[in-house]
Amino acid sequence: MTQVMYGEPIKEVVQRLLQQAGRRIGVKPRYVLWDRGFYSVEAVRYLQAARHPFLMPVACRSRKPRVLEQSQSVWQFFTWKHSGWSQHRWCNAEGRFATVGVCAWSMASLDGGGSRAG
């Protein structure tokens, strides 16, 4: 656990958390599970460069497009009728890219129609 200051680069937070696990607990994690607050180009690029396998939910931070099927954002995965794997690439404000594998899970595969009523 670590304190995060407002405006602190997420890459530094990720580095500090991984170092804490190594120093304080004495373990080197084989896989790292992050929440979607870490879904950023900087964090993903650092984890990939450091060769830390990770899993995190995709964060939908953009406005919903008018035509979902033609979207290049993560919204495209919400149109799928079946679960599956794909690649997703996105860019930060500085023009740096990150590419990740995405496992999309479809509600339609469970209830036959994608209904979320419950």
Q: Give the pLDDT confidence of 37-60 residue by residue, as tens digits.
A: 888 999 999 999 999 999 988 777
Measure Cα distances from 59 to 25, 27, 105, 116 in Å: 29, 28, 14, 19
* 89-98 confidence digits (pLDDT tens): 988 889 999 9
pLDDT value of residue 37: 85
How high is the mean pLDDT of the chain? Answer: 82
Measure Cα distances from 76 to 5, 16, 68, 73, 107 in Å: 33, 33, 6, 6, 15
Q: Kindly tell me if the per-residue pLDDT of 113 is higher than 70.
A: no
Compare 28 and 108 and report the one with higher pLDDT.
28
Q: State the pTM of this model.
A: 0.72
